[in-house]
Amino acid sequence: MTSPRADAHPADLSTEHLHSALEDPALASMNFLNEVANRYPDAISFAPGRPFEEYFQIEDVHRYLRVFCEYLEQERGLSPAEVRRTLYQYGRTKGIVHELIARNLTEDEGITIDPESVVVTVGCQEAMYLVLRALRADERDVLLAVRPTYVGIDGAARLVDMPVLPVSGEGPGIDLDDLIRQVRRARAAGLRPRACYVMPDFANPSGTSLDLALRHQLLEIAEEEDFLLLEDNPYGLFNGGDDRVPTLKALDRRRRVVYLGSFAKTALPGARVGYAIADQRVAGRSGAVELLADQLSKIKSMLTVNTSPIAQAVVGGKLVEHGYSLLAANVQERKLYAANMTQLLHGLARHFPAGATAAEGISWNAPTGGFFAVVTLPFVADDALLAYSARRHGVLWTPMSHFYGGTGGHHQLRLATSLVTSEQIEQGLGRFAALVADRTRTDWQLPAT
Amino acid sequence: MTSPRADAHPADLSTEHLHSALEDPALASMNFLNEVANRYPDAISFAPGRPFEEYFQIEDVHRYLRVFCEYLEQERGLSPAEVRRTLYQYGRTKGIVHELIARNLTEDEGITIDPESVVVTVGCQEAMYLVLRALRADERDVLLAVRPTYVGIDGAARLVDMPVLPVSGEGPGIDLDDLIRQVRRARAAGLRPRACYVMPDFANPSGTSLDLALRHQLLEIAEEEDFLLLEDNPYGLFNGGDDRVPTLKALDRRRRVVYLGSFAKTALPGARVGYAIADQRVAGRSGAVELLADQLSKIKSMLTVNTSPIAQAVVGGKLVEHGYSLLAANVQERKLYAANMTQLLHGLARHFPAGATAAEGISWNAPTGGFFAVVTLPFVADDALLAYSARRHGVLWTPMSHFYGGTGGHHQLRLATSLVTSEQIEQGLGRFAALVADRTRTDWQLPAT
């Protein structure tokens, strides 16, 4: 960044008179994480939750585009001029790959939906924004979110000035008693809890998955207490071993679930294509009933107009090429992520064997898939320790406090396994063990930086 | 759309408890315009302000992608692995074509900017949203906009609950006295006028351009009265004959202008790539001074994370291919649009010659470029007349009242010339003249539909 500070002119504006989200501590801490990563490019990084990129080739983009155009001509019966128009012009606000998404959900998730209930979005982040913007009618509307929480939902909620009430995610992934308590307490205070955000499969950042019984109970509670569930599912395909548990949306019989879909981990992040499934019926003032998807579409028309048809074509081509199955498209990736997670968990067990002094007070969870595991330490794992870890030991990770809005997780850190090689996991865990040994020396002090 | 009304289940939600923008009359009227267009596909349409698509070929997308990747390797020195990562992964929040945009602005507009002040966005619409979200700190913040106004800015303002105060756009394109009056009246009422939205070149919908003197005065007023100018410039490149007038941003010496850029008309709408130039200095609570672009970037990180690098690569490739000049890239298009506008204005003069009975009370403006002209009629040109015009005469246009939020323009309509052929203009004007003759019959009554 340039440094306008050096300029003699005074500032033109002040954040005091801009939206308050711009002074959120969360933004500063995200900045800090990026800076550390940039300052130590040679460190082994368990920080980014990005998908493995080495199976991708630029040529794939060209092929996906061609496959999608063939699909438009051959399966949808478009003329060459219509195909050209589809890619070139402004398009349908709700998107052009909605039918492919519906087929994909049937194929991979056993979810049957009307393609009209799909809104294709600029990544899952826009889907979150659209849903929260629709639900936030006035200052009484609040969102619930399982803590620790993916930072993206906090960001979207900030933009619509919607408070996020934390629900404990300890133990099995969500504390249902706490959920009910939070909902009722909010109602008693005159607030309207509109929805609860949850990532039931291999959650970011905890790695935790909800079991089937818990999912059924959660759906029951949403019905009884009258709120929606916002189910975010970027990692569900990456189960390591056992059978996959059905999504909330697959179990949803009463339209309680808005499903937030992402192609960032299963197709490619660079397309920035995600979607919402919003099959809820909305009564309008005129008496007409429309799908919630159509309400989200109206908001999208004021926000981004439509998702790039070229970007959608890339994702659509990948879906067509693999018979609408992202499980089929991710055979290599699924193996790799499962192997990485197994190696990480075995490595932690080897470095911190039960009964050993250095392992005292150290524990970790054992996700059966996904990108993330969480280590709990007998000492604080904050930004200062991360900076030290990077500089002194050449290993990066993410302090869990970032996912608690600064109110918890102080002794925990997240390890991401998606972007590292087997060698890096091995070496990185060695460095991490050295950091722990270093930090648990009785005379340890964080050196001034 | 499916009809959930047929279902026996009651609605799940009501718009009463959703964001109030969802019941905006503007949305219903947009819907109406789309429905009319869909119902009469064989009508000749002067309605859509879409760019001419027949010069585009799907193969262009492939070539632009290849050109951009070569640029990354050869000019930016990226390795093949880095090029792959650039297209595949999440990217820089402010975008990856900022340097190309800076070069393009130097080339085509004589604007010199620091590439760090560019935020690449999902179409110009997202740029509008980001700026308004930043500026709207609380309920005192208001926007000014020249009426008639492009509907996109109204939409973005609705999403951040920011009132839009109209400024008269009569005559030369903006009534500066009215502007000052509106600003002072708002201040006196305890409001904070933060910015005035203006499209100085071939405005949508009026077709009007501001002359140089007016631009200088506008900049002066913005400085004296202390607000920003949001300059939206999608059509500036499409001047028909005379030399182009410098943009406000090119004349801006005191960082009063946030420039909103679009590639939808000059590259391709399907990329959904636009940008904001925000070089204003913003003082933060910590005392640090950052560019407004960096504040917008923070908001973007919570809204869409980043603009698809694949979509950016398509636009970037087009810029590189034409030596960073969109004037050079649009030689054919510029000729076509200029010829269409000339033909339209000549055709109107032929069909409605001065002194003829049918021409009584009919007038039109004479834009020297762009996509739009406005016809003023001696009768109301509303949605009902449009429906009649489509059904009975097979010609479509846009009632100007849509651009006045229903508070004006009742006797006016917009004719767009960008998506019609020469034959269609000829035939369409004949049909339009028949509508006018029909409507001015003394016994005319709008038939019940």
A272 Cβ neighbours under 8 A, 6+ residues apart:
A122, A123, A264, A307, A308, A311, B122, B304, B305, B306, B307, B308, B311
* pLDDT(A443) > 90: no
Label residue B30 left, alpha or beta by phi (over 0 means left) and psi (-120 to 50 means alpha): alpha
CATH topology of domain A4-54+331-439: Aspartate Aminotransferase, domain 1 (3.90.1150)
Of B126, B303, B310, the CB nearest to A314: B310
The answer to whether B90 contacts A62, with C-beta atoms less than 8 Å apart, is no
Instruction: Look at residue B413 and give its three-state secondary structure.
Output: strand
Tokens of A40: 């130590």
Give A174 to chain B, closest Cα distance, Å. 25
Burial of A230 (C-beta count, 10 Å sphere; 0-12/13-18/19+): buried
Of A5, A61, A129, the CB nearest to B303: A129
Residues facing A230 on adjacent strands: A197, A258
Do A344 and A126 touch, CB atoms closer than 8 A?
no
Residues A88-103 have a mean pLDDT of 96
Give the per-residue pLDDT at A77: 98
Give B340 to chain A, closest Cα distance, Å. 20
Give DSSP secondary structure letters for B76-142. S---HHHHHHHHHS---TT-S-HHHHHHHHHHHH-----GGGEEEESHHHHHHHHHHHHH--STTEE
B250 Cβ neighbours under 8 A, 6+ residues apart:
B109, B110, B111
Q: Taking the alpha carbons of B339, B342, B346, B351 in that order, is the dihedral positive or negative? A: positive
Among A316, A315, A259, smallest CA distance to A128 is for A259
Give the per-residue pLDDT at B357: 72
**From B49, which residue of chain A is nearest by alpha-carbon distance?**
A90
Do A410 and A449 touch, CB atoms closer than 8 A?
no
Do B339 and B346 touch, CB atoms closer than 8 A?
no
Do A165 and A143 touch, CB atoms closer than 8 A?
yes
Of A20, A294, A299, the CB nearest to B21: A299
pLDDT tens digits, residue range B250-264?
Answer: 999 999 999 999 999
Q: Taking the alpha carbons of A28, A132, B95, B131 in that order, is the dihedral positive or negative? A: negative
Q: A–B: how many Cβ contacts below 8 A?
A: 283
pLDDT in tens, chain B (449 residues): 444 444 555 799 999 999 999 998 888 877 888 889 899 999 999 999 999 999 999 999 999 999 999 999 999 999 999 999 999 999 999 999 999 999 999 999 999 999 999 999 999 999 999 999 999 999 999 999 999 999 999 999 999 999 999 999 988 999 999 999 999 999 999 999 999 999 999 999 999 999 999 999 999 999 999 999 999 999 999 998 778 999 999 999 999 999 999 999 999 999 999 999 999 999 999 889 999 999 999 999 999 999 999 999 999 999 999 999 999 999 999 999 999 999 999 999 999 998 877 778 899 999 999 999 999 999 999 999 999 999 999 999 999 999 998 789 999 999 999 999 999 999 999 999 999 999 988 888 887 65
Q: What's the CATH number for B60-328?
A: 3.40.640.10
Residue type, B97: V
Q: Which of chain B's residues have a Cβ under 8 Å away from the Cβ of A71? A: none
Rounded CA gap, A186 and A192, in Å? Answer: 7
Residues A69-80 have a mean pLDDT of 98
Model ipTM value: 0.96
**Can B19-48+331-440 and B60-328 be said to share one CATH topology?**
no
Rounded CA gap, A260 and B94, in Å? Answer: 25
Give the per-residue pLDDT at B369: 96
Q: A46-50, A313-317, A403-407, B382-386: which range is least confident on average?
A: A403-407
Q: List chain A domain ranges.
A: 4-54+331-439, 60-328
Helix, strand, coil tally for chain A in percent (to 5): 45, 15, 40
Q: Which of chain B's residues have a Cβ under 8 Å away from the Cβ of A4? A: 281, 289-291
Q: Taking the alpha carbons of A35, A41, A43, A49 in that order, is the dihedral positive or negative? A: positive
Q: Return the half-sphere exposure (C-beta side, CA atoms, 13 A cut-off) of residue B408.
A: 12
Is the CB of residue A387 less than 8 Å away from at least one CB of chain B?
Answer: no
pLDDT tens digits, residue range A196-245?
Answer: 999 999 999 999 999 999 999 999 999 999 999 999 999 999 998 778 99
Optimal mutation site among A9, A13, A53, A69, interface B, most CBs of chain B within 10 A = A13
Do A301 and A93 touch, CB atoms closer than 8 A?
yes
Rounded CA gap, B248 and B251, in Å? Answer: 5
CATH topology of domain B19-48+331-440: Aspartate Aminotransferase, domain 1 (3.90.1150)
Instruction: Look at residue A230 and give its three-state secondary structure.
Output: strand
B99 Cβ neighbours under 8 A, 6+ residues apart:
B115
Q: Which of chain B's residues have a Cβ under 8 Å away from the Cβ of A87? A: 58, 61, 270
Tokens of B351: 């069909």
Among B311, B94, B304, smallest CA distance to A123 is for B304
The answer to whether A58 contacts B288, with C-beta atoms less than 8 Å apart, is no
* pLDDT(A5) > 60: no
Give DSSP secondary structure letters for A365-429. ---SBSSEEEEE-SS---HHHHHHIIIII-EE-EEGGGGTTTSS-TTEEEEE-SS--HHHHHHHH
B243 Cβ neighbours under 8 A, 6+ residues apart:
none
Residue B275: what are its φ and ψ, rounded to 5°?
A: -165, 165
Rounded CA gap, A248 and A245, in Å? Answer: 9
**From B315, which residue of chain A is nearest by alpha-carbon distance?**
A310
Q: Taking the alpha carbons of B291, B296, B300, B302 in that order, is the dihedral positive or negative? A: positive
Give the per-residue pLDDT at A171: 82
Residue B148 preceded by cis peptide, ω within 30 = yes
Is the CB of residue A85 less than 8 Å away from at least one CB of chain B?
Answer: yes
Q: Which of chain A's residues have a Cβ under 8 Å away from the Cβ of B301? A: 27, 30, 155
Rounded CA gap, B183 and B174, in Å? Answer: 14
Residue B302: what are its φ and ψ, rounded to 5°?
A: -95, -5
Do A44 and B19 touch, CB atoms closer than 8 A?
no
Chain B segment 226-255 residues within 8 A of A by beta carbon are: 255
Do B376 and B411 touch, CB atoms closer than 8 A?
yes
Of A61, A156, A292, the CB nearest to B65: A61
Do B365 and B208 touch, CB atoms closer than 8 A?
yes
Q: How confident is the model at residue A354 (pLDDT cuts 50, 70, 90)?
A: confident
Residue type, A180: I
Give the per-residue pLDDT at A210: 97
